[in-house]
Amino acid sequence: MQNDIKLYYDLTAQKTADEWYQEEILKPTLEEFINLFTYTPRILDFGCGTGHESMRLAALGASVKGVDFSEECIRIAKERTPQCEFQVMDFRNVDEKVGIFDGIIACASLIHINPKEMPNVLKNMRSIVKLCGYVSVIIKDGEGIQEDWSVLEVEDKKLERTVYLYSKALIEHEAHKVGFSFLREGFLDVKLTQYGWKNYIFKVSF
């Protein structure tokens, strides 16, 4: 299944970049996050795709590194956003070798993590964020799998890229166990919230 997810993002990378480098719907969300810091933060874009939000984070004054397991997405990110650092990486296995950060933004990336893997992914995220740092997790609210988003056809290939839904209670419970304290629900444009997207902001407490 992970191979299908990777292939999906490889095949759609150019189209995604053409659309999302022009789309600023997340700009207020990123501004809110960066304003949590009283200094120039080093931010990890966790599942950065083609680097469109990395670009905006850098424009807001952050020092940014993006990781993604799609080689084609990272190729485009390096080409379009040379002011940021990018690395091909399966973020499920992220550790201190990628660096230590003041904050992490995981925008629509954890939706592909199944509930059995989520505790370990959050633990790995905690290992690379400084104490009193911040994490923004943008996910889809609910329980189970969103079936209509999980099997898609691209270039005549039927690909399974399972999209998992997470309730606030579940993600907050798992995050708390590894040292993330729920701070508040962050801003998202109504065009996103009407489809069930949520932005949860956590502070590293231990």
**CB neighbour list of residue 75: distance below 8 Å, 6 or more residues apart:** 13
Q: Cβ contacts of residue 173 below 8 Å, gap of 6+?
A: none
What is the spatial distance between Cα 141 and Cα 110, in angstroms, rounded to a whole number? Answer: 12
pLDDT tens-digit profile, the chain (206 residues): 578 889 999 999 999 999 999 999 999 999 999 999 999 999 999 999 999 999 999 999 999 999 999 999 999 999 999 999 999 999 999 999 999 999 999 999 999 999 999 999 999 999 999 999 999 999 999 999 999 988 888 888 888 889 999 999 999 999 999 999 999 999 999 999 999 999 999 999 99
Q: What pLDDT sits at residue 40?
A: 97
102 CB-near residues (< 8 Å, 6+ apart): 37, 39, 41, 42, 43, 129, 130, 133, 134
The pTM of the full predicted model, rounded to 2 decimals, is 0.96
Residue 153: predicted pLDDT: 84
pLDDT at 45: 98
Domains of the chain with bracketed CATH? 2-20+42-204 (3.40.50.150)
pLDDT for 1: 59
